[in-house]
Structure 1
Amino acid sequence: MGNITVWPAPAKINLSLRINGRREDGYHELQTVFAILDRGDTLTIEPRSDGVINIYPDMGFPLEHNIIYKAIKLLCGISGRSLGGDIRVDKKIPMGGGLGGGSSDAATALLAFNHIFSLGLSEEDLARAGRTLGADVPVFVRGRSAFAEGVGEKLTPVVIPEKWYLVATPKNVHISTKEIFTHPDLPRSTPKMSISEIMAAPLVNDCQELVKKIYPEVATTLSWLLKYAPSGMTGTGASCFAEFSDENTAVQAYKSLPDSICGFVAKACNFSPLGQLLEKLKSPE
């Protein structure tokens, strides 16, 4: 049908994650700061006119369960059009690591198909639709570093220092968000703070101590990172990060990673690579 295009699906880290309470519906009130990184997955898309959706490689579960497939079918329902494509996913974001890989892939699919098929949906439309796929999808749709409240749906853009991060994940450790948020020992009463207070405070993640207790590999990873720089865990794990002011120092630490830990070096960006690409595509030549 058309040209093959390549789309970034960046990773994110939570620079802070504070859990303020549990609601009657089981969801948690929280406050968090999202930093989008300049590294992540890549989606290569070749649009089809027959409405068939193929996703490669096979993820080992039914296509209908793939969040990229769900995102495209969601757009079909909203637009009333039959959208198809052959999508190849270069997966660099580890699953179950708290780096937002699935949510980012879904957001990229929403934005890419909206552009490729000229659906004309606004960022607000796509963020609202993405919320039904996952709590973090709107962050990637909007593509900006953000402060989030409520259950993660109330987003306020913030400007963060664009520092370098060594992101490290213990191998073969996959942590279920549901497992952590339903655990009886999870702290749920951290007092709310203002945006400025949270931005000025040290790195805090209310899930971190519990995850370290259940998954000693995460505790080992954090201990290793702390030898090099201020460090923390992102989301509900298992990925951790160390914060550096320059790329070279981060790379030197990366080169020393033990064999039991995989990782990458990335820079935080206030406007995501995906957002930058879309701006470029919208601009006249």
Structure 2
Amino acid sequence: MSGSAFLLVTAPAKINLYLGVHPEKDGRGYHRVDSVMTAIDLTDTLAIAPAEHLMVRTVPEADFPMEENTAYRAAVAMGEAFDREPAFAILIDKHIPVKSGLGGASSDAAAVIMGICRYWGVDPTDPRIDQVARSVGADVPFFLYGPPAYFSGAGDVMDEIFRPLTGTPVALVKPLSDGVSTREAYERFDAAPPAAGDLEPVLAALRAHDEEALFASVSNNLAPVACELVPQIAEVRAWLREQPGVRAAEVSGSGSAVFAVCDTQMAAEAIVRSALEERGWWAQAAKMEKSGPVVAVG
């Protein structure tokens, strides 16, 4: 593509319909993880353009060096994998809350990978792309795809993709706290690992596209850890489970966001209004989506 054009790339959030973390670790020191995720239509937006050198900025401004940003690390990893200089200016308009368990940082990294693929004419199915994604973070490979998928290994090896649940309404709610650090969550998990839920009913329901069975099987054994670290998360989850029209409510990832799968979009929006106005929590209505990053030429 033209070197003067810039790209706009959407980076969707995710929710975990199942998360099972196991005490054993691999050679890299990563826990064995079973994860079933689906994308939702809450997104960050990245603008990527050629530049003299690699530069990453976020809006709002991040409180850590850009070199620690997953988007920066993804660009560096792409440069190393393809022996090219990743000279791009990357601006990330953040809408996915940080430390929420909604995967914003991982999605931003996947968006950078897909954007650079477009610039460099790299086939996104090139095996090196998956290796780059896995090197940046466990959830990054998922965001290269988008439909509901089951990942094993450290949560970074795709085992199965399922028929999308497109349009299913979701209410996202999180307390106004600093969020949950993934590292701190895993350290607390190691101290007293909660047992993982049953994965097979989730996979069977997805294969059959049986939403009732699926949402009855939603599980996350990091949820107790998140609730210990930020007790308001437990309050949010309990409140959501009491709201009308909620089919299931659980912590996403290591928190601090809780998602509620709803019967209707009207029910999701009513929950969000109540959470914002009556409880003072962060809240957002969303829908399950089927796509990973969407790349458009500016």
TM-score exceeds 0.5: yes
Deviation per CA, 1:179-220: give whole Å up to 9, x if none.
Answer: 222221221465663663464452211111232233111011
Rounded Cα–Cα distance in structure 2 between residues aligned with 1:171 and 1:123: 41
Structure 2: gaps spanning 5 or more residues = 207-212
Contact 2:33 2:152 in 1 (8 A): yes
Q: Does residue 241 in structure 1 map to residue 222 in structure 2? A: no
Rounded Cα–Cα distance in structure 1 between residues aligned with 2:178 and 2:92: 21
Shift of 1:264: 1.1
Contact 1:21 1:30 in 2 (8 A): no
Q: Which of 103, 106, 128 is the aligned partner of 1:103? A: 106
1:225 and 1:190, CA in 2 relative to 1: closer, same or farther beyond 3 A?
closer
1:73-84 → structure 2 map (5 Å cutoff) = 73-84=76-87
Q: Which of 185, 193, 205 is the aligned partner of 1:180? A: 185
Rounded Cα–Cα distance in structure 1 between residues aligned with 2:32 and 2:119: 36
Deviation per CA, 1:129-163: give whole Å up to 9, x if none.
Answer: 11000000000012232012221122111125331
Shift of 1:64: 1.4
1:54 and 1:181, CA in 2 relative to 1: closer, same or farther beyond 3 A?
closer
1:86 and 1:252, CA in 2 relative to 1: closer, same or farther beyond 3 A?
same
Rounded Cα–Cα distance in structure 1 between residues aligned with 2:194 and 2:237: 20
Contact 2:110 2:140 in 1 (8 A): yes
Q: Residue in 2 aligned with 1:265?
A: 285
Rounded Cα–Cα distance in structure 1 between residues aligned with 2:126 and 2:145: 7
Rounded Cα–Cα distance in structure 2 between residues aligned with 1:99 and 1:231: 14
Match of 2:8, as an amino acid?
V
Rounded Cα–Cα distance in structure 1 between residues aligned with 2:23 and 2:198: 9
1:16 and 1:206, CA in 2 relative to 1: closer, same or farther beyond 3 A?
same
Deviation per CA, 1:242-281: give whole Å up to 9, x if none.
Answer: 1113222211211111453102111112333x2xx35x88
Rounded Cα–Cα distance in structure 1 between residues aligned with 2:196 and 2:8: 43
Percent of aligned pairs sharing the same letter: 25
1:131 and 1:243, CA in 2 relative to 1: closer, same or farther beyond 3 A?
same
Rounded Cα–Cα distance in structure 1 between residues aligned with 2:175 and 2:17: 19
Match of 1:271, as an amino acid?
S
Query: Per the alignment, in what secondary structure is the counterpart of residue 147 of structure 1?
Result: strand
> Which runs of structure 1 show a deviation greater than 4 angstroms over 4 or more consecutive aligned residues?
188-192
How many residues get paired?
276
1:30 and 1:74, CA in 2 relative to 1: closer, same or farther beyond 3 A?
closer
Structure 1: gaps spanning 5 or more residues = none
Q: Does residue 211 in structure 1 map to residue 226 in structure 2? A: yes
Match of 1:158, as an amino acid?
F
Q: Residue in 2 aligned with 1:7?
A: 9
Rounded Cα–Cα distance in structure 1 between residues aligned with 2:87 and 2:264: 42
Q: Residue in 1 aligned with 2:96?
A: 93
Match of 1:245, as an amino acid?
D
